[in-house]
Amino acid sequence: MSKKQKSTQTSFKYETKQKLPKLGKVKNEWDLKGLYYTSEKDPQIEKDIIKTERAYKAFAKKYKGKDFTSTAKKLLGALQDSEKLSEMPESRKPAYYYSFRTVLNAHDSVAQKQLSLIDNRLTKAGNEVLFFGLAIGKISKDLQKKYLQDESLKKYWYDLEQTFKNAKHLLTEPEEKILNLKSDVSRGMWIAGTDKILSKRTVVYKGETIPLNAAIDRVNTVSTKERPKLWKLCTDQFKDLAEVAENEINAVVTNKKINDELRGYKTPYEATIAGYENNEKSVLALVEAISSKGFALSRKYYKLKAKHAGVKQIPYANRSDDVGKAVAIPYDEAVKICRDTFYEMDVMYGAIFDTMLENGQIDVYPKEGKTGGAFCAHATNIPTFVMLNQVDSTRSFTTLAHEMGHAIHSERSKTQPSIYDSYSTTTAETASTLFEGIAQQKLIDALPDSQKLNMLNQRISEGIATICRQIAFFNFEKELHETIRTEGAMTWQEIAKLFQKHVQAYMGPAVEVTEDDGLSFVYVGHFRNFFYVYTYAYGELMSNIMTQKYQEDSTFVEKIDTFLTAGGSDTVENIFKSIGINANKTETFLKSLKTLEHDITEFEKLTK
């Protein structure tokens, strides 16, 4: 929380349950100078770009137009050389550096210009090696079967299997180059433009000028009476930007339609599910289960909440209202709880957190120009970074635990070869919600009984936001894409009404959702990462099961680490299977929903 910001919450001091290693000096801002480059004038930036360009050209010279797929021995050598390319930090550092600068300051025009130039150069460099994946995808079916059984290629089996599977959606090399070169102007710049405008907007609340992104986060920290007022200031800004967002949404959705048609994807979400290495049947079963049973549970919760508040309808801005007095969690206390949680689970997890705190890999507080929300950024052989917008609430605490779940997953995945040290977005959201849930329980256990109802309410509220809200978002996206594909475009008023409809579906009549609330589509960045939202629900339900197993038997942490270190070495369903969870069965998701159902039953008893 900034020094100017006053809290309406009760203070809380956490006592650790174990002796923790001494923590060094914590840096609350990203150390870009120490971990990346000193400034845009640093000569190492250009050296790194040139090194990347030369490496890609050398690879193309060695293999383009040559026979490297006719025998297992030739293919192995080519794959090993390709892996060396993927291990080069120089191919990522310059773009990450300027991207992080734009995250911290939307007014940084130098970074914006340099990022655009670098993206163009690196896209061209990447286009030099497009032939490689295309050539592997064209390997005959007979040789594919042979290579997937050849022991010398065992390390690459899964990578090859995915390449063979996705080959039918690839175009010719010239066409792939065109799509790569146009991706920024047909999508990236549209999204960046809206985000840039949002980052520069401010609202004046009680005489204080607040960045719009920070104001959105602060809505949940002010009093029940003040939330609708502050939210109204935010939605006024959304309405002012709605026409810009309308053009952006129509452009990026239409661009996706064109790409899907070229690649032969039949539905708007097919490419996303395939890209996240999920089974489509399983994902649609998840959507169906949550749209029915999950929505019924969330509607029941909001009805109970309205009854407890003595009203027929809760304003949309008050959907996350606390029940009882909220607990203020300053950043240093949030760090203490997370350290206690991570070190108790495994010393490695605590050490990863400490290193990031001390090295300046976590940017903590909101400020004008800084992007809203929170995220974790990772890639091969470069430092993992976490971005927060801390406001000293319990939600900021759970956000820290959530993003550190991503970070710990990222670091443990680096035990894999570079071709597998990333991971599916679905398993990413499992890891983040797993660490969030375990840390949250640690806080609940430490609270006095008088404050546990509030945390139970928050856990339910966050569970519904992660499970039901995200599937409502998925349903919104599905109808948005289908409508634009059939009707050509949608006005911002139509998009807002569509958003209103789908949000109302999971909240029910106990929450008042207005057309102005529907303008939230303007700032929700997830809709620009098409259908990404289902991974939150999927991950939350999987992490519920893992959390249950860990709480029943702490040695399950070994299975957790098996999951974390798997990286992207197998399909999502197979990774879960390796730790004893069947993610192909609808019953698994329905069973996991019982955790939410149990919490709502407890909430009902306590509020009576």
What lies within 8 Å, CB to CB, of 391 at 6+ separation is 1, 5, 214, 217, 218, 221, 366
Which of the pair, 279 or 70, is modelled with greater confidence? 70
Per-residue pLDDT band for 5 (boundaries 50, 70, 90) equals: very low
Q: Is the pLDDT of residue 160 over 90?
A: yes
Number of H helices, E strands in the chain: 26, 9
**Among candidates 102, 78, 474, 93, which has minimal Cα distance to 267?**
474
Find out whether 201 and 212 touch, Cβ atoms under 8 Å. yes
Residue 2 banded pLDDT, cuts 50, 70, 90: very low
Residue showing tokens 């801002």? 29
What digits encode the pLDDT tens for the residues 563-607?
999 999 999 999 999 999 998 888 888 889 999 999 999 999 888
Query: Which one, of 191, 184, 239, 532, lies nearest residue 371 by Cα?
Result: 191
Q: In this predicted structure, what is the pLDDT of residue 7? A: 41
Angle between helices 72-86 and 130-137 (to 10 degrees): 150
Average of per-residue pLDDT across 92-116:
95
CA distance 99 to 115: 7
In the chain, what's the furthest Cα-to-Cα distance? Answer: 75
pLDDT at 205: 95
| Residue-averaged pLDDT of the chain | 93
Model confidence band, residue 3 (pLDDT cutoffs 50, 70, 90): very low
Crossing angle (nearest 10°) for helices 93-104 and 43-63: 140
Q: What is the pLDDT of residue 575?
A: 96
Quick one: pLDDT at residue 185?
Answer: 87
Using CA atoms in the order 68, 70, 73, 74, what is the torsion angle rounded to 10 degrees? -10
- Render the burial of 242-253: b for 16+ CB within 10 Å, e for the rest: bebbbebbbbbb
Angle of the 173-183 helix axis to the 109-127 helix axis, nearest 10: 170
Nearest to 431 by CA among 294, 280, 550, 582: 550
Of all residues in the chain, what percent are helix, strand and coil, respectively (each to 5)?
70, 5, 25
- Go through the chain and tell me how many residues it has: 608
What are the pLDDT digits (tens) for 253-269? Answer: 999 999 999 999 999 99
* 65 has pLDDT over 90: yes
Provide the token pair at 219.
Answer: 């809505």
Mean pLDDT comparison of 181-190, 331-340, 362-371, 520-529, highest-scoring range: 331-340
pLDDT reported for residue 213: 86
Q: How far apart are the first and last CA of the chain?
A: 34
More confident residue, 239 or 453: 239
Identify the band that residue 4 occupies on the pLDDT scale cut at 50, 70 and 90: very low
3-state secondary structure 162-217: HHHHHHHHCCCHHHHHHHHHHHHHHHHHHHHHHHHHHHHCEEEECCEEEEHHHHHH
Of 522, 533, 531, 532, which Cα lies nearest the Cα of 499? 522
Q: Which fold has domain 37-170?
A: Butyryl-CoA Dehydrogenase, subunit A; domain 3 (1.20.140)
Residue type (1 letter), 526: H
Please tell me the predicted confidence (pLDDT) of residue 381: 95
Say yes or no to pLDDT of 239 above 90.
yes
Pairing of strands 375-379, 382-387: antiparallel
Tens digits of residue pLDDT in 299-321: 999 999 999 999 999 999 999 88
According to DSSP, residue 315 is labeled E
Mean pLDDT of the region 102-128? 94
Tens-digit pLDDT profile for residues 529-570: 999 999 999 999 999 999 989 999 999 999 999 999 999 999
Share of the chain above pLDDT 70, in %: 98
- How far apart CA 398 and CA 562 sit, in angstroms, is 24
- Asked whether residue 241 carries a pLDDT value surpassing 90, the answer given is yes
Phi, psi of 509 (to 5 degrees): -70, -10
Which band of pLDDT confidence, cut at 50, 70 and 90, is reported for residue 10?
A: low
In angstroms, the CA 448 to CA 411 distance is 35
Q: What is the pLDDT of residue 394?
A: 87
pLDDT tens figures, 43-53: 999 999 999 99
> What pLDDT was estimated at residue 192?
87
How confident is the model over 388-414, as pLDDT tens digits? 999 888 889 999 999 999 999 999 999
Angle formed at CA 580 by CA 460 and CA 283, multiple of 5 degrees:
60
